[in-house]
Structure 1
Amino acid sequence: MVDEALAKGGDPNVSDAYTINGRTGFPNGCSDVMDEEMFFGVAEHNLTVVAQDGAYIKPIPTSYIMITPGQTMDVLITANHTGRGSYYMVARPFFDSRAPFDRYNASAILSNLNASHDDNAPASAPLPFDDDFPAFPPVPFDYTGVSPDKYLLPSQGTKVRMIEYGKKVEIVFQGTNIGNAENHPMHLHGYSFYLVGTGCGNFFTDPNYHHDYNLIDPPKVNTIRVPKNGWTAIRFVADNPGNLSLSQNLHASWGMDIVLIVKNGPNDTTSIRPPPSVPRCT
């Protein structure tokens, strides 16, 4: 499907259905949708989100969730109805863009509910952070107010970003109005990171401006959404050496992808070592 879209230079074919798959036990949701966020809820029941992308967070009670493509959530459901029963689960797409998308809802039936609980909380976000990554855009402009046709064709190149082992890194994803503005799910391979802030409009780079970051109990995840014409900030410690892909789930094939290279650390335990079967250079 992606190869066909690349050959034509257009959007991939729109699907004609969503599905809800599940099993008994601890409820874990993973969104395999290509480009749409999904609202999800269970009839007559509340939810409690206790983890995202495999890391515990401060429990969030809610009547529904919105999950972005590639994201996972661990959700507790309180069985507050007596007797055996069956209840509808419903997923509904959200896509804030002019591009075509599958507008159908998906439903399933949940029976024999059982609840559990976990009070684990995330660790604190890394403080302080190093200010040498990422570099500022080479051509600053009004990212969310620019004409959709301006800067539509950026310059091409093959470049990576080198990061020293152990560095504390902050990355700010800035949405733009270029082309067809929409939400963007972003995923970093090889790391979980702390989601410390998000907002609408342009991110202020003035060092004297105070951003209202959550540095107390931010969620630790590996996939986040950048809001339409907005920004999202993440932090992590570069303690996993190697080549890391930072990409948008769908638009990586169109160039929304970058490679980060975390250098080896000071010893064998903090460095990538070749397998014993690989011949050494002489």
Structure 2
Amino acid sequence: MRNGWADGPAYVTQCPIQPGGAYTYRFKIENQEGTLWWHAHSSWLRATVYGALIIFPKHSAYPFLKPHREFPVLLGEWWNQNPLDVIRQALKTGAAPNSSDAFTINGQPGDLYNCSTKGTTVFPVSSGETILLRLINAAMITELFFSIADHKMTVVAADASYTKPFTTSVILLGPGQTTDILIQTNQPAGRYYLAAQAYNSAPPGTAFDNTTTPAILSYSNSPISSPPKPAVLPAFNDTATAIAFLASIKSRRPVKVPAPVDERLFFTVGLGLSNCPPGRTCAGPNNTRLTASMNNYSFVLPKGLSLLQAAQSKVPGVFTTDFPATPPVKFDYTGNVSPNLYQPVRATKLYPLKYGSVVQIVMQGTNISAAEEHPMHIHGYEFYVLASGMGNFDAKRDTAKFNLVDPPRRNTVEVPVLGWAVIRFVADNPGVWFVHCHIESHLTWGLAMAFLVENGVGKLQSTIPPPLDLPKC
């Protein structure tokens, strides 16, 4: 809170840490507990620079059955080449980046890959135990289904917020999302696969990593030679299962949803195409380059100074504060979109918010060039997900669907393919806060914007001064 200097995205709240340099992130944990994660936020460095950030209850026990053991389960991606080279090549050609060559669980691909028969993460358990698994999707560009052979999973938290417990056979996590689950080791002693594989919402024919990464839930006294029992996962394009899982997540108790709404924002989120530079050949459709945008603006990071530094020091010319509250051009967002709307405008535009204002955002997916699900993340905030649905959002029809009793509190919301999601929060954290798709290629292409939340009254409602060791550009 009030400390964007500890937030991390390069050129948004700080300049990157230079080679050989150092920077200490200092922040206070306030009113949060549960599973979060930390990661690099410069180019594609987070492909390998990430880890779990677990906040344990300070005074009381968990609001669910006390686990005998708990494990972080980090789901990641692996490329057979330097991930930075993967995105550099994609930016050079204008095409989509190569999909990963494998998925990983806690850094290991698992024994379903020919190259890694010994590289399998093992979680040791005993019969009759309650196990807490803290699932984190740290993948760069892939939403993931997760399941465990012969074991039901009870969801108890998501994005470090406790949820109303419900039992499921499959979990969906978008990049950046976390989910805490309980399992009971009530099966015959043996070895059981935990497994993750892609949920791919892109159009048919789109390349993706169609492999499966396993880990092993190993009961004590199980013979190492016994083959693990396979986990059952949905088909890679099972959107119905994805939607049903997300709809099951609700806050543990009734909540006080912020009201009345001061800022009603409507953001289109989606992909697009841009013209190939003169004299160049590009690998996108019809000699174009792939791009992405929000409200027809493709976000451009500044150079030489972060947005937060520029805002604090009132440096002109770094950004403007005229990001549109609604799309500049209204169209059939999920229908047949005219090619005239494919090309966004590149700009560095922020949207200003008054301190304490209640903000409601409709995130509307589009069918520009290609429709896809978008996990949208807001830095510096948690928000209530009031509703989501398919097609174009219609305020007259869809407002009646809002859950104003026990909506889930998240920091990353899934905007469904050819659909929409509505979130609400109070702008009580001053500073510059990045809003972006957590599919890293979409962020690289410009699917982002930022809020400039003004200071309130007095020191306790204002951004703290920058630390002395803030990295220089």
Task: Tell me the TM-score normalised to structure 1 length.
Answer: 0.88
3-state SS of 1:6 partner: helix
3-state SS of 1:225 partner: strand
TM-superposed deviation, 1:268 = 0.4
Structure 1 residues 211 and 64, CA, compared in 2 at 3 Å: closer, same or farther? same
Aligned residues: 271
* Structure-2 residue corresponding to 1:174: 364
* Structure-1 residue corresponding to 2:192: 87
3-state SS of 1:70 partner: coil
3-state SS of 1:29 partner: strand
* Structure-2 residue corresponding to 1:237: 426
Computed over aligned residues only, the root mean square deviation of the Cα atoms, in angstroms, reads: 2.3
Moved over 4 A (4+): 22-25, 275-278
Q: 2:409, 2:254 → 1: CA distance? A: 7
Unmatched tracts of structure 1, length 5 or more: 114-118
CA shift digits 1:104-151 (9 cap, x unpaired): 1121111249xxxxx954733223322444522121110000337341
Deviates more, 1:89-98 or 1:149-158: 149-158
* Structure-1 residue corresponding to 2:391: 201
TM-superposed deviation, 1:152 = 1.0
CA shift digits 1:60-106 (9 cap, x unpaired): 21111111111111111122225x43211121211121331101112
* Structure-2 residue corresponding to 1:116: none
CA shift digits 1:40-61 (9 cap, x unpaired): 1111111111111111111121
Deviates more, 1:241-250 or 1:92-101: 92-101
Q: Is the 8 A contact 2:265 2:362 kept in 1?
A: no
* Structure-2 residue corresponding to 1:52: 158
* Structure-2 residue corresponding to 1:129: 261
Alignment of 1:1-282 (within 5 A): 1-21=86-106, 26-81=132-187, 84-98=189-203, 99-112=206-219, 121=253, 123-134=255-266, 135-147=325-337, 149-206=339-396, 210-249=399-438, 250=440, 251-275=442-466
2:146 aligned partner, one-letter code: F
Q: 2:261, 2:208 → 1: CA distance? A: 39
Q: Is the 8 A contact 1:148 1:177 kept in 2?
A: no
Q: Is the 8 A contact 2:262 2:358 kept in 1?
A: yes
Structure 1 residues 209 and 59, CA, compared in 2 at 3 Å: closer, same or farther? closer
Q: 2:150, 2:383 → 1: CA distance? A: 34
TM-superposed deviation, 1:19 = 1.1
Task: Tell me the TM-score normalised to structure 2 length.
Answer: 0.54
TM-superposed deviation, 1:227 = 0.8
Q: Is the 8 A contact 2:331 2:337 kept in 1?
A: no
Unmatched tracts of structure 2, length 5 or more: 1-85, 107-120, 125-130, 221-250, 267-324
Higher helix share: 2
Structure 1 residues 76 and 8, CA, compared in 2 at 3 Å: closer, same or farther? same
Q: 1:74, 1:173 → 2: CA distance? A: 26
Q: 1:172, 1:256 → 2: CA distance? A: 15
1:123 aligned partner, one-letter code: V
Q: 1:203, 1:7 → 2: CA distance? A: 36
Aligned identity (percent) is 43
Q: 1:91, 1:266 → 2: CA distance? A: 48
Q: 1:38, 1:148 → 2: CA distance? A: 32
Q: 2:261, 2:384 → 1: CA distance? A: 12
